[in-house]
Amino acid sequence: MNRTLKSIITITAFGAAALGLSAQPAPKVLTVDMGKLFQGYYRADEEMAKLKATEQKDEEDVQRMLKEGNQMAEKYKETVEQAKNTMLTPEARSKAEADAGKMMEDLQKRQNEINAARSNAQRVLSQQWNNIRSVLVEEIVKKVNGVAKDKGATLVMDRANLVFADPGYDITDECMVLINKDRPTPAAAATPAPATPASTTTAPDAPRVSVPGLQK
């Protein structure tokens, strides 16, 4: 094969490759604000309202335990005073001292129960929210994918990860309308709580039984 023929074949192959590359459609990139969609999704508000109701019930249970603990603490204080009362017989004072020691053990046990109840409630709520959030995000992503396909997009990027994006390529508002298409009417829906993940809220300090000398 002479050099001229080789050159013709090389040029032809290069031209065919270039033609194939030019035939590829240009990528179409769209953007969406996933955080905004999640915050604006009515289902997120509904689920958070349910978790808030559960959280309130858990806190009521803790407060009930705390009230019982404080009642125990009052009896403990009275018993301690009896043990110090010089008007009582040595036997009565000794018995009161022994009773106070037993009460202190019960109070420490109750405090541990209160702490465990608060910790367990927070852990369960966090797990529930993480599971719910995963489901909701999946629902939103399906709607975003549908809009992207209708528009012939080849890639959709979250605006949270971009330094700059032309608003003309953003589909957030369109997706927002779509994910809330089945929102219940205001008359049928209760006022929802803001969709704040339970896992990100700061748990209050654990309540404590007010007893002098009780281990912190």
Q: Taking a C-beta distance cutoff of 8 angstroms, is the pair 127, 51 a contact?
A: no
Q: Can you give the pLDDT at residue 186?
A: 73
Condensed to tens digits (0 to 9), the pLDDT of residues 117-174 reads 999 999 999 999 999 999 999 999 999 999 999 999 999 999 999 999 999 999 999 9
Q: Can you give the pLDDT at residue 185?
A: 84
Listed in order, strand segments (DSSP E) in 132-187 are 155-158
Q: Taking a C-beta distance cutoff of 8 angstroms, is the pair 112, 216 a contact?
A: no
Q: Can you give the pLDDT at residue 211?
A: 44
Q: Taking a C-beta distance cutoff of 8 angstroms, is the pair 205, 66 a contact?
A: no
User: Which parts of the chain have pLDDT scores under 70?
Assistant: 1-24, 187-216
Q: State phi, psi for 157 to the nearest 5 degrees.
A: -120, 145
The pair of three-digit structure tokens given for residue 27, joined into one six-digit string: 């990528």
The pair of three-digit structure tokens given for residue 84, joined into one six-digit string: 């110090």
Q: Can you give the pLDDT at residue 187?
A: 61
Q: How far apart are the first and last CA of the chain?
A: 94
